[in-house]
Amino acid sequence: MSNSLIKIAVPVIGLVAALVLAFVAYFFVLAWWSQPPAVLGFGDGPTQPIAFPHTVHVTTAGLDCQFCHRIASTEEAAGVPAVAQCQFCHDFTRITGEESDSPTAETEIAKLIGDPLEGPDPINWVRVHRLPDHVQFVHAPHIQQGFSCSTCHGDIASMEVVEQVRNLKMRDCVDCHRDNEAPTDCTTCHY
């Protein structure tokens, strides 16, 4: 009996092990070449200190990206707005979250107020879009050439939690530069 069990068990275990190994290999190869497959929470965006919904601000309130990310067309970074700017708009429009359907809106907006004497601390947003090391990316020329933010960042307007949609590896950049006759000299980005 035990002999026949082994005869069945060995190939089954071997097959399972081979499948697991194949999946692990597939995972690493895909993660290396592009992005890890969206399983086990790998494709999800990170949890932010304030559950900021781009959906509400872009779609409902109708704000342009550069209303908050103000230096995207002139500087390297797109710029994350200061807490003061968040506060200013919320004070001005008197939106405290009470009127929202979302149950968390009021508590999340209340985080902007902070200490009444010292004011709010800067928010430690978690970085979502990561470029590979050793690359100097500059937003300004891309925006100035008329590219939409969603070319690289995807449809942020419909994302409750922002996640990276393009792999933004060197091949991704170079392909796009070639298609648009942008310079592909190494020192365009590496210096």
Q: Is 54 left (phi over 0), alpha (psi -120 to 50) or beta?
A: alpha
In this chain, which of 5, 8, 117, 186 binds other proteins, going by CB under 8 A?
A: 186
* C-beta of 156 vs 182, nearer to other proteins: 182
Q: What is the DSSP string of 76-115?
A: SS--PPPHHHHHHHHHHHT--STT-S-TTHHHHHHTTT-B
Residues in binding contact with other proteins, number by CB under 8 A: 15
Q: Does the footprint of other proteins cover residue 188 (CB under 8 A)?
A: yes
Please pick, from the candidates 9, 33, 138, 155, the single residue that binds other proteins as defined by CB under 8 A: 138
Residues from 140 through 179 that contact other proteins (CB under 8 A): 140-141, 144-145
Going 114 to 119 to 64 to 149, the CA torsion angle's sign is: negative
* Amino acid, single-letter form, for residue 113: I
Tell me the C-alpha distance between 123 and 49, whole Å. 7
190 interacts with other proteins by CB under 8 A: yes
Query: 51: which DSSP letter?
Result: -
Q: Does 133 bind other proteins (CB under 8 A)?
A: yes
Contact region for other proteins (CB under 8 A) — 47-55, 83-91, 118-126, 181-189?
Answer: 181-189
Interacting residue ranges for other proteins, rule: CB under 8 A: 76, 133-134, 136, 138, 140-141, 144-145, 185-188, 190-191
